Structure 1
Amino acid sequence: MHDKFGNLTGWDLEGFHSGGDTEAWRRLGSHLVTVHDDERGDLEGARFAVWAPNAQRVQVMGDFNWWQGDDMEFVPGTGVWALWIQGVEAGAQYKYKIQHGDGSWQEKVDPYARFADVPPGNASIVWESDYEWGNAEQIWLDERAQTNVYESQMSIYELHLGSWRKGLSYLELAEQLPQYVKWQGYTHVEMMPVMAHPFPGSWGYQVTGYFAPDARLGTPDDFRVLVEALHAEGIGVILDWVPGHFPKDDWALGRFDGTALYEHADPRQGEQPDWGTYVFNFGRNEVKSFLVSNALYWVQQFHVDALRVDAVASMLYLDYSRAEGQWVPNKYGGRENLEAIDLLRYVNKHLYARTPGVVMIAEESTSFGGVTKPVNWGGLGFGFKWNMGWMNDSLSYLNLDPIYRQYHHNDMTFAMVYAYSENFILPISHDEVVHGKGSMLNKIPQDDWRKFATLRSFYSFMWSFPGKQLLFMGQEFAQRSEWNEEKGLEWWVDSLPGHNGTRQLIRAMNLLQAGHPALYELDCEPEGFRWINADDTTHNVYSYVRLDRDGEMVACISNFSSEPYETYPVTLPAAGKWREILNTDAAEFDGTGLYANAEPVLATRTDPDSDDSWAEATVIVPPMAGVWLRYEG
């Protein structure tokens, strides 16, 4: 007699029910398992296990039983149904057929499936990885564990894998993407969700297969090839993760056993009106095990270096996007979702403890306190937070005609008021260049010369401002139309004047930043930044100095007016030579090339007898351009 549960016992599921199983996918889902039979010895087959505590009957159906369904058995006291079937191999397709309490039947895909059919198919697929990571990959992980990410350069290229170069598979991307990103000088890529999703227009944010990489682009091991290829070029991989909500497709997680299993039954808690989706029941232990296991799965099994958690604000607030009376207060009568806060802390704590060097990033659009504070200090425990305030203020400033910018000067300075309240990433993400918002280039008024020049000036401001940088694909060559996932990027404009110059500028700034720690080392420390002049409203100019721990200084001046200033006065923190290392008006960036500080700028002390006084100089500042000067002593 062999083990009908494929070596699964109620003891194995205790952690799952207590919310403490951080690798629940090892117990649930489908697995190739060898069982011992007293008469026939060791037998090969697959174990299927699914949590459906309120089902009357559960069957597993697949191409191995002509989709007829074999009855699964209840593992006593667990709410889990399991069955081991002899002869099932990797690649087999399957679903669960679940009988609800009212007698009706419904087919469901496996919540823990590690591979799934290419849409519009949705069957789960039995999958075991035999991928072998190379020696260089282990070196990468060891070095990652030793890196202080806050004091390192982090320049992030955000992309949608399906439309970067349309039609490429994971394996083709592995050949093309790492070389391009490395040439551009980025340190990281951030991939919009790669988890299985049926509707391409959701860009992966409506996930139906939390453990399965999108099969449109290849197998799970093909995705591993892509990650390893990026690491081989020194590029970190950030993955978007979506624990905030899931879609209502009737074959997926929703009402899984005929009841609200993964979600709240009350629509005031269990549904997200903005997206027409369900919200996880974050307080339910089995859901906790599901989500923490999922986060850890991508980091451990695919060597992902960071997770960027989508729509954190929608998780933190019970009244998010809801009218009065459409939400349920917490036990203290407040609007904070205590269970979601608890879950985020739990996930962050676990990932930081278990995978050295991993980074958790929050896309959080409110002023919720302590997002990037450690959990034991009362924070949420994220490493970084997207600075949505900086982004909104900057984009509204760019939208203005230069003549009106003087009245909105503090749009660009306000971020310094709160710059060190969290560890920030400055994002120009996909959300800013879709759905009628226009591309970065077309947010800027007036003619092409002014559009390109202003965009270059803005990028130099962004790359020198405290915080890590994130730019969405296509914006590095100033794509003219907004992003459309069905069309892919407009690579053909890349060689045209203006577009090519913008791309050359991004590359130059990434390489300059890598070589000058003043531009990144103290991004999260107030000692790394000093204003030269925050208040020059009449000239539309911002100027400041960036510093590192060893005394390197880079003065950064951004001009958002169409006037050139050939003797612009600045007060610098040290006397001596300041050499121009970047000028966004240079001919190599398709600027005019007419206004350059060819000779080092000489700063002289206002008080020759004092070592502490600042020094005065005049700088050539081109129209709508950024200039960086490095102190040479």
Structure 2
Amino acid sequence: MSAARQPSPPARAEAAAATAPVPAPAAATDPAAAAPAPAPVQESAGPARAPRARLTAAPRGVRPAPALDGEERARLLEGSHHDPHAVLGARTQRGGVAFRVLRPYAKAVTVVAKGLRAELFDDGDGLFSGLLPLTGVPEYRLLVAYGDDEIEIHDPYRFLPALGELDLHLIGEGRHEELWTALGARTMEIDGVAGTRFTVWAPNARGVRVTGDFSYWDSTAYPMRSLGASGVWELFLPGVGEGALYKYDITRPDGSHTLRADPMARAAEVPPATASVVTASRHVWGDARWMATRGALPAHRAPMSVYEVHLASWRPGLSYRQLAEQLPAYVKELGFTHVELMPVAEHPFGGSWGYQVTGFYAPTSRMGGPDDFRFLVDALHQAGIGVIVDWVPAHFPRDEWALAEFDGRPLYEHQDPRRAAHPDWGTLEFDYGRKEVRNFLVANAVYWCEEFHVDGLRVDAVASMLYLDYSRSEGEWSPNEHGGRENLDAVALLQEMNATVYRRCPGVVTVAEESTAWDGVTRPTDAGGLGFGLKWNMGWMHDTLRYASKDPVHRKYHHNDMTFAMVYAFSENYVLPISHDEVVHGKGSLVSKLPGDWWQQRAIHRAYLGFMWAHPGKQLLFMGQEFAQGSEWSEAHGPDWWLLDSSYSAAGDHRGVRELVGDLNRTYTATPALWERDSVPEGFAWVEADAAEDNVFAFLRYAQDGSPLLAVSNFSPVVRHGYRIGVPGQVPHWREVINTDDERYGGSGVRHAEPLRPEPVPAQGRAASLRMTLPPMATVWFRPA
């Protein structure tokens, strides 16, 4: 086509969509088959959307169709018609088959089929109709003329609903565990015609239309039909395929309109653009071996050392596929068993770090498409690394193009404003008691596990879900039906989510970020618990960081901060988190929290990590802390990788800490005593818990077969010679396997080069003891030689 004959925008849009072949119609007796083609329709002058005069003479073989009722016509054009398929498309009636087409901006519309070509009457406002003397509805297409251009398309209104009765029943029950297969935009073929089925839940809407780049964002052309009491609206658009941008134009109960992204979209535009994107997966997974073996041990009895990552800033500017080239190798070198990804679901504001989600089913497009994210997960699995993603069911932002009052009334949020508004973050809380909303969230959890093969979900802000009075003053909340402050709807949601994920996705673990003493977070649901696999131990984190931040001369007054966690250590299955929350908002990085000069800060940093890795519970460390980054994390630039550059004078200091983290992980994974009995008292025994004046702690860890590991920490700057630590007498020799004061890590090099032999000298209530030298500000691990 020459530059002088470029089609008009609507023609270009429809031409791009009209790619499906014309299906061959079945043979039929066609009275109009032999009729010559109708004469061109004469277009009246005036604006493109202005009503056009009806033809005074009918095209040959075409008679006027019965006119639309004025009210029905108005509802169709204003987007408040619940069943546009009842008035658009083709249907038999007395005298033949009536055709009616809604094609805004078109000059003329012609029906074509085998042996048939009939131009329709122009009824004005983009409506075209005609009654053809046919005995049945043929398999037809439409020729639509825009100016001098003519395109051939399938009529969207000739197709039956593409959503089955079982889907609608499950949606109505709130039990559709694969909701993403029923709602949203899904590419498919119907009767050999390729296109996209659009479905959206909007029960309060007076009407819904789908619009997008395929219609040049004009909403008029594609009204959707209501599928009854389900509240679901549906339309199949032939020719619309992957990459198409779309939104829903929703007519609210008051007649006003709102343009919304798809809550079930599986891809979205790169922010700040907000349209949803039609997508389909073509990724071929290569992680079959990983998926088959990942659940060999339950998480609380398996090694788990987690590296927490904000993907967009780990190496700023990298795509998912570029991350797949670098992240697995780095994590594997450091010996972590898992990565935890801060939320990857689509979010409009990067400064929220992903915790204010608008696209719950769409990986953020900042780094690529959904298949690119699958590629990254696949690469991590093939490197032997598990993937946990942060999941955020506690709240969602108020953006007017997203979930807030989606169809004109509170829908995803609670009807009661006191229950809807989250007091801390300016966001909205989900209505966990509404079955469709609960279904949306439960299916979303399953979606990330099944569609992206993730190995775990870390559920954010669980405490804010569990309590009706969370961050609310008296008078700002109302009690539950029993007069309590527990959010029983949220409890039921979390129980259903956990039960469903564990049933459907073997090997997956769910992790609760729950900061209170709620009973039974990791207790099974059939025993009345919430059903999580693991829980973040926020108390341990706060207590131990408080201790470590004190000057050594004051630590004896805070000795209990390091031991108190063992009072409740086996009440839940715990993760010990040093997460992103501890290195932002003025809190400083881990090393910068610690007192003393640079050498002392690094020494305490190393000793703290050694204590943490030996303590009951899994470990989680945020990126940058593995090499003692001194500055706070910022999503704008990520970790300070330059600290590891050999041209930097102190690079060895930082590389030494990173080398320690690698050795901690490898020794941890190879030592069942450190993880096999994490959640039972039999796996732990204090040796020295009361040496407050010395700043010393010592404990034993035991594997299932009884083999021990001894961990001794000296948080004072003093080398302690001849320090006695009681040990089991049956072990003949103890060998030092980790010493955070090793010169390789930047320490002073106070080590035990030879194995230690127990002596028959009682200490800490044991008949035998080791006489050792405790290096300053260090943690030392010993195993039987």
Shorter-chain TM-score bucket reads: over 0.9
Q: 1:113 is matched with which residue? A: 265
Q: 1:419 is matched with which residue? A: 569
Q: 2:604 is matched with which residue? A: 454
Contact 1:6 1:34 survives alignment (8 Å): no
The alpha carbon displacement at 1:89 in A equals 0.8
Q: 2:737 is matched with which residue? A: 581
Contact 2:726 2:766 survives alignment (8 Å): no
Say whether residues 1:564 and 2:715 are aligned partners. no
Letter in 1 for 2:757: L
The alpha carbon displacement at 1:325 in A equals 0.7
Query: How far apart, CA to CA, are the structure 1 residues paired with 2:767 and 2:477?
Result: 56
Structure 1 counterpart of 2:179, from 21, 24, 35: 24
Indicate how the Cα distance of structure 1 residues 3 and 364 shifts in structure 2: closer, same or farther if over 3 A, else same. Answer: farther
For 1:514-550, what per-residue CA distance to the aligned partner results, in whole angstroms no more than 9, with x for missing partners?
Answer: 2211121111111111111100001000001111112
Structure 1 counterpart of 2:629, from 479, 493, 518: 479
Say whether residues 1:549 and 2:704 are aligned partners. yes
Counterpart secondary structure, 2:541 = helix
Query: How far apart, CA to CA, are the structure 1 residues paired with 2:779 and 2:263?
Result: 51
Say whether residues 1:516 and 2:696 are aligned partners. no
Letter in 1 for 2:277: I
* Aligned counterparts, 1:478-517, within 5 A: 478-495=628-645, 496-517=651-672
Letter in 2 for 1:532: V
* Aligned counterparts, 1:173-572, within 5 A: 173-495=323-645, 496-572=651-727
For 1:54-91, what per-residue CA distance to the aligned partner results, in whole angstroms no more than 9, with x for missing partners?
Answer: 11121100111111121111112221111111110111
Q: 2:243 is matched with which residue? A: 91
The alpha carbon displacement at 1:438 in A equals 0.3
* Aligned counterparts, 1:158-169, within 5 A: 158-169=308-319
Letter in 1 for 2:267: F
Q: 2:768 is matched with which residue? A: 615
Runs of 4+ in 1 over 6 A off after TM superposition: none
Contact 2:308 2:339 survives alignment (8 Å): yes
Query: How far apart, CA to CA, are the structure 2 residues paired with 1:145 and 1:583?
Result: 32
For 1:299-358, what per-residue CA distance to the aligned partner results, in whole angstroms no more than 9, with x for missing partners?
Answer: 000000000000000000000011111012111110000000001000100110111111
Counterpart secondary structure, 1:527 = helix
Contact 1:5 1:83 survives alignment (8 Å): no
Contact 1:374 1:382 survives alignment (8 Å): yes
The alpha carbon displacement at 1:11 in A equals 4.1
Give the structure-2-normalised TM-score: 0.78
Q: Which runs of 5+ in 2 are unaligned?
A: 1-136, 138-156, 646-650
Contact 2:714 2:779 survives alignment (8 Å): yes
Letter in 1 for 2:443: S
Contact 2:374 2:452 survives alignment (8 Å): yes
Q: 1:61 is matched with which residue? A: 211
Counterpart secondary structure, 2:218 = coil
Contact 2:388 2:457 survives alignment (8 Å): yes
Query: How far apart, CA to CA, are the structure 1 residues paired with 2:189 and 2:656?
Result: 60
Query: How far apart, CA to CA, are the structure 2 residues paired with 1:519 and 1:360?
Result: 21
Counterpart secondary structure, 2:318 = coil
Counterpart secondary structure, 1:605 = coil
Give the structure-1-normalised TM-score: 0.96
Letter in 1 for 2:586: G
RMSD over aligned Cα, in angstroms? 1.4
Query: How far apart, CA to CA, are the structure 1 residues paired with 2:160 and 2:534?
Result: 43
Contact 1:571 1:615 survives alignment (8 Å): yes
Q: 1:592 is matched with which residue? A: 748
Letter in 2 for 1:476: E
* Count of residues paired in the alignment: 621
Contact 1:10 1:76 survives alignment (8 Å): no
* Identity %, equivalent residues: 53
Counterpart secondary structure, 2:330 = helix
Query: How far apart, CA to CA, are the structure 2 residues paired with 1:9 and 1:492?
Result: 56
For 1:386-414, what per-residue CA distance to the aligned partner results, in whole angstroms no more than 9, with x for missing partners?
Answer: 00000000111111111100000000000
Contact 1:6 1:33 survives alignment (8 Å): no
Query: How far apart, CA to CA, are the structure 2 residues paired with 1:149 and 1:297?
Result: 21
Counterpart secondary structure, 1:357 = coil
Q: Which has the higher contact order (CA 8 A, sep 6+)?
A: 1
Contact 1:91 1:126 survives alignment (8 Å): yes
Letter in 2 for 1:113: A
Counterpart secondary structure, 1:247 = coil
The alpha carbon displacement at 1:9 in A equals 4.0
Query: How far apart, CA to CA, are the structure 1 residues paired with 2:611 and 2:393?
Result: 33
Say whether residues 1:35 and 2:190 are aligned partners. yes
Counterpart secondary structure, 1:454 = helix
Contact 2:171 2:230 survives alignment (8 Å): no
Letter in 2 for 1:129: S
Q: 1:39 is matched with which residue? A: none
| Larger mean Cα displacement after TM superposition, 542-551 or 247-256 | 542-551
Query: How far apart, CA to CA, are the structure 1 residues paired with 2:562 and 2:158?
Result: 66
Contact 1:254 1:262 survives alignment (8 Å): yes
Query: How far apart, CA to CA, are the structure 1 residues paired with 2:160 and 2:612?
Result: 57
Q: Which runs of 5+ in 1 are unaligned?
A: 37-41
Q: 1:123 is matched with which residue? A: 275
The alpha carbon displacement at 1:429 in A equals 0.2
Letter in 1 for 2:477: W
